Chains A and B, each alone.
Chain A
Amino acid sequence: GAVVSQHPSRVICKSGTSVKIECRSLDFQATTMFWYRQFPKKSLMLMATSNEGSKATYEQGVEKDKFLINHASLTLSTLTVTSAHPEDSSFYICSATRPGTDTQYFGPGTRLTVL
């Protein structure tokens, strides 16, 4: 069964609003979670590494103030897209690494559409 969940699976919002996406590890505690963005028919682009209890590490070119990441507990990381615009429309996927392994388990993704 799924070990990482995301909520919501799909969200439509108006331009200028903020949207929060949750990522949960279901049966293990994850000190590190990752957030990816995937454009249509494209590969996954790592946006940031979410570390429990500390600030997220963003990849080059990703706006920290635009994509706010909070990793408040060992099972929950949130990504908030602030002041969303149509170009932020994309498929956002999170993953979590099971402790003691090198394997990332991926969530089912969240489809964001900004009108």
Chain B
Amino acid sequence: AQSVTQLGSHVSVSEGALVLLRCNYSSSVPPYLFWYVQYPNQGLQLLLKYTSAATLVKGINGFEAEFKKSETSFHLTKPSAHMSDAAEYFCAVSELIQGAQKLVFGQGTRLTINP
């Protein structure tokens, strides 16, 4: 079974600083990988996804992630943090089970932005 590990349940950065949220996966097949963001009391919004095309994936709100097969990683970055980026971020891997693409989520990382 596939799994996802997010290193750091809580990350805090200053406004304008680099954001780096770490995600490592385990998969026996080429994975589809996703980053989702969740604001308080809301559902999940897709930030970006990797589906075996370009290894550097650009998403919404200035976020991007790089797929590194050798490191089994898919870390999320943003060059300059904004106060509105404060939220919970989830990395997920897609697993095909009984004909359905199921998502396996990491534990989540809460991002706090300091003024």
Contacts and interface: CB of A to CB of B under 8 A. Distances in A.
Given A43-B90, A43-B107, A102-B49, A107 B32 contact: no
B103 A104 contact: yes
Interface string B79-109: 0000000000010001000101111111110
A109 B43 contact: yes
B46 interface: yes
Interface size class for chain A? Answer: 20 to 34
Contact of B102 (A41, A46, A111): A46
Contacts of B42: 108-109
Contacts, number: 56
B28 interface: no
A32 B34 CA distance: 19
B95 to A, nearest CB: 10
Contacts of B98: 49, 57
Interface residues of B, number: 24
Interface string A85-111: 000000101010100001111111101
Contacts of A43: 90, 105-108
Given A49-B100, A57-B98, A103 B46 contact: yes
B14 interface: no
Contact of B90 (A34, A44, A49, A57): A44
- By Cβ-Cβ distance, the 8 closest A-B pairs, closest first, are A106-B43, A106-B44, A108-B43, A43-B105, A109-B43, A44-B105, A43-B108, A43-B107
Interface of A: 4, 6, 32, 34, 41-44, 46, 49, 51, 57, 91, 93, 95, 97, 102-109, 111
